[in-house]
């Protein structure tokens, strides 16, 4: 893992921890127990998603790097594009938390970029007979991250004291399944509509369960 990617992941954990811990009245936000729990849950969710994507990428002979989500395109024409992009992974989650007094937790902080490794092009038989990364395989990498987060949510419900982790994991999967910008949902959607619909359905069900069940 490159230093820049590692710093982006740490930044994502901090932002996610702030969003998860932010609540009204505000004095509860600064409680040590609340901050510690939010940071631990954020680290678990982020690292599970990152590890799952990297594992899937390795199986597909690809490399994947993560960075803070940046919003670059604002229209459909070619010139409707911001070269540097806006730090949406920082600004939007914090804005929604502040505006809603912590009731709306927008858990979209990271996106990923995948590229084929040299050994992928060297394969002549089996599943890979070309070196380029298809949209389908790129979508599979994102799907692996979402599936791992949903699995984390399911398992956490059966762990004493981890019900909040189950809820936050479900919320994280739901928000990142939205087909917006370069979020996981967009890459999965263009890779396979069927796969996106299946994961989106599970994300909605898990999120609904998280909202209804205390």
Predicted confidence at residue 131, as pLDDT, reads 59
**Percentage of residues of the chain with pLDDT beyond 90:** 50
Predicted confidence at residue 75, as pLDDT, reads 47
Predicted confidence at residue 125, as pLDDT, reads 47
CA nearest neighbour of 102 among 25, 12, 177: 25
What gap in Å lies between CA 140 and CA 195, rounded to an integer?
A: 9
pLDDT along the chain (214 residues), means of 10: 88 93 73 86 96 93 88 52 70 88 87 79 50 84 96 93 92 93 90 95 94 79
Q: For residues 141 and 17, is the Cβ–Cβ distance under 8 A?
A: no
CA nearest neighbour of 199 among 187, 210, 214: 187
Q: For residues 130 and 100, is the Cβ–Cβ distance under 8 A?
A: no
Predicted confidence at residue 34, as pLDDT, reads 82
Report CA torsion sign: 145, 150, 153, 155. Answer: negative
CA nearest neighbour of 68 among 11, 113, 24: 11
CB atoms < 10 A from the CB of 96, how many? 18
DSSP string, 14-64: HHHHHHHH--SSGGGGG-HHHHHHHHHHHHHHHHHHHHHHHHHHHHTTEEE
């Amino acid at each position: 893992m490159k230093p820049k990617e590692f710093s982006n992941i740490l930044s994502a954990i901090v932002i996610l921890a702030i969003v998860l811990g932010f609540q009204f009245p505000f004095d509860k936000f600064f409680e040590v127990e609340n901050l510690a729990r939010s940071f631990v849950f954020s680290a678990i969710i982020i690292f599970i998603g990152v590890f799952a994507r990297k594992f899937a990428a390795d199986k597909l002979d690809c490399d994947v790097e993560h960075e803070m989500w940046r919003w670059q395109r604002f229209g459909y024409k070619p010139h409707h594009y911001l070269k540097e992009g806006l730090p949406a992974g920082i600004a939007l989650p914090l804005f929604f938390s502040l505006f809603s007094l912590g009731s709306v937790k927008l858990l979209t902080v990271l996106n990923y970029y995948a590229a084929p490794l040299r050994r992928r092009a060297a394969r002549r038989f089996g599943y890979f007979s070309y070196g380029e990364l298809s949209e389908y395989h790129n979508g599979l990498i994102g799907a692996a991250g979402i599936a791992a987060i949903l699995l984390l949510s399911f398992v956490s419900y059966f762990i004493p004291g981890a019900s909040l982790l189950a809820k936050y994991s479900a919320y994280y999967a739901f928000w990142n399944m939205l087909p917006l910008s370069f979020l996981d949902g967009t890459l999965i959607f263009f890779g396979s509509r069927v796969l996106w619909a299946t994961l989106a359905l599970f994300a909605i069900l898990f999120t609904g369960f998280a909202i209804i069940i205390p």
